[in-house]
A and B are shown apart, each in its own frame.
Chain A
Amino acid sequence: MSLFKAAIAAGIALATFTGTALAQGKPAELKIGITTFLSGPASVFGVPAKAAAEMIAEDLNKKGGIGGVPVKLSFIDEGAGGEALVSNYRRVVQDEKVDATFASISSGSCNQLVPVAEDLKVMNFMWDCGAASILETKKYRYNFRTQANGTPEMLAVLLYLLKTKPAFKTIAVVNQDYAWGRESWEIFSTALKAMKPDVQVVAELFPKFGAPDYSTEVSRLLALRPDVVLTTSWGGDLDTLVRQAGQRGLLQQSTFVLGIGESSIQRLGKDLPEGLIVGARGDHWFLHPEKKNDPAFKAFAEAFKAKSGAWPIYPVYHMAQAFTALQTAYDKAIKANGGSWPTREQVVDATAGIEFATGFGRPITLRPEDNQGLEAQLVGVTKSFPGYDFKLLDNMMIFDPKVITNPPNMRSVEWLKTLKPEFVKMDVPTFKQQ
């Protein structure tokens, strides 16, 4: 009997040892769980991003994967929201045992999933959500943001406005009534107050998210005649607002600033007039002035257009950033591990502070102090060009992220309050669309 027990103990020990040894070897595949909107209004971002993820993964695997290991994707629909999203995320991490996650588009989703990722000790890249506060209130080990947050995104748009239309005296805002609409206005208005305190805010309108009709808001703005109208709305809401405003002459009456309008330009087609200021949530533009002649950049844009029917928009580039960040982190960790496959903890260690470049924009750094991505910001003005049935961006400025991102360990709003009117005078390169 004692011989039998000893045999069992030896078997268990051998199995444990073998298992450990296998865990440190190269896995058969690198599993990535991705949350993205596949349903609901935000699927205008989520579905192109999913298409991009599939395209990038396919291309990556053709080249041998990451560190010689092919990647395998699992998608979770953010549209389910709430507890369903958290449950699905836990399932993918614990049952499917993914090696890393990319979560999420919505800041609400990020707020929910970031603590879960930390709890489950799985590396998570916030690949698209913009709420600055997430990484400002707590230092995380497993969570990184592979792009900018709302602060530099809004500040770049405001700086462009102040540089190109310095004489405006009144402004109104029409934002969606939810976290992003409110937070982006807080960032913009705080910075505006600091850098141009004489501007009067004549209307703050926050129509319902998904509102089908802006007639009353348009009437009110037509009556108020503000010099500038800001909106950080997106998707169908932005399209509806721009079209309803255009039909009634509001776009011609006031200077419109579309904080994250890059993603709507192609859809709006000829309904989008010239002269609107448009932000891109990063230096994302399918005709990026510094990259558009690069063969890899062109090939990616054309392949994406062939697959989806439209030129890439910013969530596509954000998805590419998450993949490149993961690849960079693994390459660094493998190198640090003497060429052996790294443990998850070694990959997390390697991720802090990396600089990576997708080739689709300027390089991005993951700031080690707070894991916040430093990403350049491109802003331009709409203009017609032959050969396109929608407006292109002209007079583009690309802002340096190190200058327009709040320093680590300082809340965005507090930092924005310290800005002075002289801040506007910074040198920023301007690019013509050619």
Chain B
Amino acid sequence: MNSTLAVLAVLDGISYAALVFLVSVGLSLIFGVLRVVNVAHGSLYAFGAYLAATLILKTASVSPWLTYPAMLAASVIIGTVCGGFIERFLLRPLYGRDDVLQLLITFAAFMIMDNLQRLIWGVQPIFAADPLKLLPNVSVFGVTYTSYQVILLPVVALATLFGLRYFLKRTLSGAVILAVTEDREASTAIGIDASRVYFVTFIIGASLAALGGALAAPTTSLVPGMGADMIVLSFAVAATAGLGQIEGTALTALMIGLTRAFVIYLQPEFEVLVPYLLMVLVLLARPFGLFGAVQVRKI
């Protein structure tokens, strides 16, 4: 592989990694704080994508630039409404009970949302590329890229990463979340409303999943089953990083994105295997993930 192709592969890898990170980080955040493996995460991604596409198609006729706030609005609406509902009515009654119940209830939510998605948006692929078409293409070594994918998505991913770190480390609300993560009982004893923290954190995590979907909407066809595909990949990323590890999720997404891109250039037969092969190799060497640690809860 020559240096030109290597540069192209790096660009492709970064673009892919940005989207994977945006989807996986919500899953990791929720696990880090609530200790819940949210199987419905893929449905939140799909709902975010579908609602964003609906709003994009409606707002594009008014002004194409309105499609960007429309995507953001879709993420917040899905995160708040769907995420809030799942945490408040499905998960909250199960805290403190067997973890398997949480897994089952989020799986049930996933199945219900999958059917709801078909009822609301049908089964024909939906495509809403207006936000992507607004931005110019860029040329690298004669190969055309959309700046939406090689510039905007990585920038949003980095902003999300640093925004989350700032929120958790530098704000009072973030400190409260960290305190509940560290010791729920002690936090409650000093007057922190842990239930509220769980609720807010779940909504943030769900909104991130929906944001991933909303940002993917202009680049891909929305089809039934897209949530299931994404939840599998998100789990692979989160597990490889170590559940609850935000920076780890970013680095793992980057590692998977770059490896996948180089594999497509060099040995495309192995493309499908890349995330899972990496996961197996990492978990064999480090059962708690690349950045995870035994009995330590981090976010």
* Contact assessment for B220 and A207 in the assembled complex, using a CB-CB cutoff below 8 Å: no
Nearest 9 pairs of A and B residues by beta carbon = A236-B223, A236-B221, A236-B125, A43-B123, A216-B12, A212-B220, A239-B221, A248-B144, A240-B221
CB-contact partner of A44 in B123, B127, B226, under 8 A? B123
B204 interface residue (CB < 8 Å to A): no
Interface-forming stretch among B88-96, B188-196, B261-269?
B261-269
B9 interface residue (CB < 8 Å to A): yes
B296 interface residue (CB < 8 Å to A): no
Interface size of A by Cβ–Cβ distance < 8 Å? Answer: 37
Task: State whether A212 and B127 are in contact (beta carbons under 8 Å apart), knowing that A205-B268, A239-B221 are contacts in the complex.
Answer: no
B11 interface residue (CB < 8 Å to A): yes
A222 — which chain B residues lie within 8 A by C-beta? 142-144
Further 19 A-B residue pairs, CB within 8 A, beyond A44-B223, A219-B143: A39-B114, A39-B224, A44-B124, A46-B123, A47-B122, A212-B230, A215-B219, A216-B13, A219-B11, A220-B8, A220-B265, A222-B143, A223-B141, A223-B143, A236-B220, A243-B129, A243-B221, A249-B144, A310-B124
Give min CB distance, A319 to chain B, whole Å: 16
B271 interface residue (CB < 8 Å to A): yes
Give min CB distance, B137 to chain A, whole Å: 7
A235 — which chain B residues lie within 8 A by C-beta? 125, 221, 223
A67 interface residue (CB < 8 Å to B): no
Please, what's the 1-or-0 string for B252-276, where 1 marks a CB less than 8 Å from any CB in chain A?
0000000011001100110110000
B264 — which chain A residues lie within 8 A by C-beta? 205, 216-217, 220
* Contact assessment for A213 and B220 in the assembled complex, using a CB-CB cutoff below 8 Å: yes
Please, what's the 1-or-0 string for A227-252, where 1 marks a CB less than 8 Å from any CB in chain B?
00000000111011001100111000
Mind listing 24 A-B residue pairs with CB under 8 Å? A39-B115, A44-B125, A47-B122, A204-B268, A206-B269, A207-B272, A208-B272, A210-B226, A212-B219, A212-B221, A213-B19, A213-B216, A216-B16, A219-B145, A222-B143, A223-B5, A223-B141, A223-B143, A235-B221, A236-B223, A236-B226, A240-B219, A240-B220, A248-B137
CB-contact partner of A39 in B118, B144, B222, B269, under 8 A? B118
Please, what's the 1-or-0 string for B197-238, where 1 marks a CB less than 8 Å from any CB in chain A?
000000000000000000010011111111001100000000
List which B1-40 residues lie within 8 A (CB) of chain A.
4-5, 8-9, 11-13, 15-16, 19
Interface size class on chain B is: 35 or more
B146 interface residue (CB < 8 Å to A): yes
A41 interface residue (CB < 8 Å to B): yes
Cα separation A219 to B5 with both chains bound (whole Å): 9
B132 interface residue (CB < 8 Å to A): yes
Task: State whether A248 and B129 are in contact (beta carbons under 8 Å apart), knowing that A41-B225, A219-B12 are contacts in the complex.
Answer: no
Task: State whether A223 and B8 are in contact (beta carbons under 8 Å apart), knowing that A39-B224, A235-B223, A243-B221 are contacts in the complex.
Answer: yes
Cα separation A215 to B11 with both chains bound (whole Å): 10
List which B74-130 residues lie within 8 A (CB) of chain A.
114-115, 118, 122-125, 127, 129
A210 — which chain B residues lie within 8 A by C-beta? 223, 225-226, 229
A249 — which chain B residues lie within 8 A by C-beta? 137, 144
B240 interface residue (CB < 8 Å to A): no
Task: State whether A239 and B125 are in contact (beta carbons under 8 Å apart), knowing that A210-B225, A217-B264 are contacts in the complex.
Answer: yes
A166 interface residue (CB < 8 Å to B): no
Cα separation A161 to B5 with both chains bound (whole Å): 30
Give min CB distance, B226 to chain A, whole Å: 7
A40 interface residue (CB < 8 Å to B): yes
Task: State whether A203 and B221 are in contact (beta carbons under 8 Å apart), knowing that A215-B149, A248-B144 are contacts in the complex.
Answer: no
List which A20-60 residues lie within 8 A (CB) of chain B.
39-41, 43-44, 46-47
A177 interface residue (CB < 8 Å to B): yes
